[in-house]
Chains A and B, each alone.
Chain A
């Protein structure tokens, strides 16, 4: 089903604040099998100049993949048929434990590609104080049902 083109350019309200914890970073590092001490040991992280343990580069996906914005029935996205097309992150600095982050997602494009629909979403991940930490771009591909 065609996605609603009226959503192109729409920015959704910021997400609920998400507090990044040492425990969640460690769980994520364990899941990707990464034993780097800067993800686990605050002293090792501080030795590298970080304020606390930092998160792996792809960690922001935990808080930035779509969320409730894409669940708007007016958009017409059938999530069961969605696959991930592209993903990128541009970092101002690494995410670290103790950050309290909010995401603000904007749909930047919706287009047809063959029988698929492709939607680009840009998400700004900021601290609650307003510091930009990371900008994520993703492309979701909806296959025909």
Chain B
């Protein structure tokens, strides 16, 4: 359980390079199967539009998982994540032809004892913040 980032190498304000994740309908179908959340708003355009949505939307938990992957890719070992929480502020709208793009960035917001730091995350799609108050507490090497 060793993160590849050293506690002494980061400061409050240290930025983690932004990453871009393409999101397709196929991703959502796979996530539905993997998670067991088969709500049709995540795979059926006709149904999604019938309940007032612009198109199929991604599972909030899919978005949270991708932003989590951003953190664990930085850390190396996902076992170094101690706490992870988000608010869902806006859905990722996933069109059939073009899908969507999720851009995640982060920075060290706080340094705690015991090699722990708090990473504040920003996640945007189509110019909208899709997560707010997204924070991960992680243990660095």
Instruction: Tell me if A33 and B27 are in contact (CB < 8 A).
Output: yes
Residues from chain B with a CB closer than 8 A to the CB of A12 are none
Q: Which residues between 64 and 98 of chain B lie within 8 Å of chain A, taking CB atoms?
A: 64-66, 68-69, 71-73, 77-79, 81-88
What CA separation (Å) do A48 and B35 show in the bound complex? 26
Partner of B86, one of A30, A49, A88, A94: A88
B60 at the interface (CB under 8 A from A): yes
Q: A84-B61, A87-B64, A91-B83 are in contact. Are A57 and B78 (CB under 8 A)?
A: yes
Residues from chain A with a CB closer than 8 A to the CB of B35 are 28, 31, 61-62
Main SS at interface, chain B: helix
What CA separation (Å) do A36 and B73 show in the bound complex? 8
B33 at the interface (CB under 8 A from A): yes
Instruction: Tell me if B84 and A89 are in contact (CB < 8 A).
Output: yes
Instruction: Tell me if B65 and A89 are in contact (CB < 8 A).
Output: no
B38 at the interface (CB under 8 A from A): no
Instruction: Tell me if B82 and A65 are in contact (CB < 8 A).
Output: no
- Number of B residues contacting the other chain (C-beta, 8 Å)? 34
Q: Which residues between 1 and 47 of chain A lie within 8 Å of chain B, taking CB atoms?
A: 24, 27-28, 30-34, 36, 38-39
Q: Which residues between 15 and 57 of chain B lie within 8 Å of chain A, taking CB atoms?
A: 21, 27, 30-31, 33-37
Instruction: Tell me if B84 and A62 are in contact (CB < 8 A).
Output: no
- Which of B's residues lie within 8 Å of A, judged by CB? 1-2, 21, 27, 30-31, 33-37, 60-62, 64-66, 68-69, 71-73, 77-79, 81-88, 133
Q: List 27 A-B contacts (CB under 8 A).
A: A27-B33, A31-B27, A31-B30, A31-B33, A33-B27, A33-B69, A34-B65, A34-B69, A36-B69, A36-B72, A36-B73, A36-B78, A48-B1, A48-B2, A49-B1, A49-B2, A49-B79, A54-B78, A57-B71, A58-B61, A58-B65, A86-B86, A88-B86, A89-B83, A93-B79, A94-B78, A94-B79
